[in-house]
Amino acid sequence: MLGLMQDEQLLISSLIEFAARNHADAQIVSRRVEGDLHCYTYHDAAVRARRVAAALDRLGLGFSDRVGTLAWNGYRHCELYFGIAGSGRVVHTINPRLPPEQIAWIANHAEDRVLCFDMTFLPIVKAIWSKCVTVRHWIALCEANAVPADTGIAGLRSYEEWITAESGGYAWPRFEERSAAALCYTSGTTGHPKGVLYSHRSTVLHAWGSALPDTLGLSARDCVLPVVPMFHVNAWGIPYASAMTGAKLVLPGAALDGKSVYELIESESVTLAAGVPTVWLGLLNHMAQHGRRFSTLQRTVIGGSACPPAMISTFKDTYGVTVLHAWGMTETSPLGSACTLKLKQTRLPPEEQMAVLVKQGRAMFGVEMKIVDAGGEELAWDGKTSGDLHVKGPWITKSYFKGEGGDPLVDGWFPTGDVATIDADGFMQITDRSKDVIKSGGEWISSIDIENIAMAHPAVAMAACIGVPHPKWDERPVLVVVKKPGAEVAREELLAHYHGQVANWQIPDDVIFVESIPLGATGKMQKGKLREQFKHHPLPV
């Protein structure tokens, strides 16, 4: 016997329509590439998203056709999210920080029919347009008079001219909730990037899960600033979760430096901000240098790479802001876990609470986690034993776009490539990316642990720990460090800082001071590049 409840499909269009009806005057504020602040409401966004949908109909795009974007976080990008997916097409966000030839490769692989871009990226578009064989329409996200006449790009027009030709009287189509909605390519270590294809159902369920109190805890009383880009895993799904909850949404555009982010937080009274650790480093440096305080910020979600405990303490002790450490990946939509205390832990002394809060946190409902050994046997949740982290759930990938790379699943679970422990309360802690673990004398050293200790030193701005080949021990840890501006610290002092914090054999063999550490297109340290650069670094034998 089936239940007798309605089979309403979970569709992305329902999110923006819900926001337009129930939170019509809640604001979306965007810092535009034009330089000014643009402010409108969910009602306005819904009207323009419907126009996008109608404009795509007029271009003759079919169901599930892909529409690419090369754009910062802004209101037009948001309208594209809802208009493209809501009308049954697939919004394909492309990371503009990738090399142009890779962008062209991705657009061709996705078979994008339309490509919408911020004017900042006109030079990229000029370089690739003739190579993107499936793209028929290039839409510049600006007013008609801002499009230069002499670009030579066939099929180029302005977004404003394109959508204002439509009436806004559009009815969203209803279709199967498992239909494709959004596509995001993720770069593996080898080979071409692979496409992760989200569905309407996975996106809506992920938004629901991410808004829960123990995940982002997003509500109609929040003002949320996703500094994490909309071209990287849909800004962690925040545009969808904001529409679902009616939170005020603040979009930072291209200005991601500490000063600009700080000013936006203050001017818009942001309560919750989200981004990768490198963004917060810039913000905290700006705050320290100029003696700034936050007036409204309550929480920051930090993920994408491990958040150093020193950053969590600085936010809390100096600025009274709670850090929510979260873990996820493109293949997990991305939120898989977030770190908030359980009732019994709220009575613990602060140091013991801190030992919990530095972890990547508990799985939210909808995500199952396990750790396994090399033979695939499940390992204990004792907080000590580490193994390969596998996940499954309705917003976790089951296959890459066009079946690239074959079947990624192992017994129905997605192997994340991360190494982790899980404790008896279900708190997961990433000890490393499997390729970054340092193997020394048959033992494993967590590069994240070593980096976190370095980051707690007041003179260290950024630290990466890499394994350098060693004739006797296989690999030994070496610390690559960027000092804070004007700060000094000697190699010996940094190494002495480790005594008593880790076993002696885990202390790095050397410290290499550098001007900067290479960051990838999503703001993560590129330890592979460092390993290559320093593979012949002399070590004591």
Residues contributing to the site for ligand AMP (CB under 6 A): 186, 233, 303-306, 325-330, 334, 360, 416-418, 430, 433, 522
Q: What tokens were used for 263?
A: 């000013």
Q: What are phi and psi of 473, to 5 degrees?
A: -100, 5
CA dist., res. 458 & res. 461, Å (int): 8
Q: What tokens were used for 283?
A: 């913000």
CB of residue 27 vs ligand AMP: minimum separation in angstroms?
A: 28
CB of residue 253 vs ligand AMP: minimum separation in angstroms?
A: 21
CB of residue 233 vs ligand AMP: minimum separation in angstroms?
A: 6
Decide whether 217 or 523 has the Cβ nearer to ligand AMP. Answer: 523
Question: How many residues can be counted in the chain?
Answer: 541
Q: What tokens were used for 350?
A: 């602060």
Decide whether 135 or 196 has the Cβ nearer to ligand AMP. Answer: 196
Decide whether 68 or 193 has the Cβ nearer to ligand AMP. Answer: 193
CA dist., res. 95 & res. 248, Å (int): 25
CB of residue 429 vs ligand AMP: minimum separation in angstroms?
A: 9
CB of residue 360 vs ligand AMP: minimum separation in angstroms?
A: 5
Decide whether 46 or 430 has the Cβ nearer to ligand AMP. Answer: 430
Q: What are phi and psi of 488, to 5 degrees?
A: -125, 140
331 has catalytic annotation: yes
CA dist., res. 113 & res. 73, Å (int): 22
Q: What tokens were used for 3?
A: 């239940």
Tell me the three-class secondary structure of 224-275, residue by residue: EEECCCCCCHHHHCHHHHHHHHCCEEEECECCCCHHHHHHHHHHCCCCEEEE
Burial of 444 (0-12, 13-18, 19+ CB in 10 A): middle
Q: What's the one-letter identity of residue 62?
A: G
Decide whether 207 or 428 has the Cβ nearer to ligand AMP. Answer: 428
Decide whether 86 or 334 has the Cβ nearer to ligand AMP. Answer: 334
In the set 439, 493, 505, 532, the catalytic residue is 439
Decide whether 260 or 333 has the Cβ nearer to ligand AMP. Answer: 333
Which residues, at least 6 apart from 437, have a Cβ–Cβ distance to it below 8 Å?
Answer: 419, 431, 444, 445, 446, 447, 467
Q: Are 438 and 506 in contact (CB under 8 A)?
A: no
Decide whether 61 or 358 has the Cβ nearer to ligand AMP. Answer: 358
186 has catalytic annotation: yes
Residue with tokens 């593996």: 188
In the set 17, 268, 331, 451, the catalytic residue is 331
CB of residue 329 vs ligand AMP: minimum separation in angstroms?
A: 3
DSSP string, 52-77: HHHHHHHTTPPTT-EEEEE--BSHHH
CB of residue 65 vs ligand AMP: minimum separation in angstroms?
A: 25
CB of residue 215 vs ligand AMP: minimum separation in angstroms?
A: 13
In the set 41, 151, 322, 444, the catalytic residue is 444
Decide whether 97 or 537 has the Cβ nearer to ligand AMP. Answer: 97
176 has catalytic annotation: no
Residue with tokens 């929480």: 299
CB of residue 506 vs ligand AMP: minimum separation in angstroms?
A: 19
Strand pairing class (112-117; 66-70):
parallel
CA dist., res. 116 & res. 69, Å (int): 5
DSSP string, 81-126: HHHHHHTT-EEEE--TTS-HHHHHHHHHHHTEEEEEE-GGGHHHHH
The angle at the Cα of 189, spanning 183 to 194, to the nearest 5 degrees, equals 20
Catalytic residues: 186, 331, 439, 444
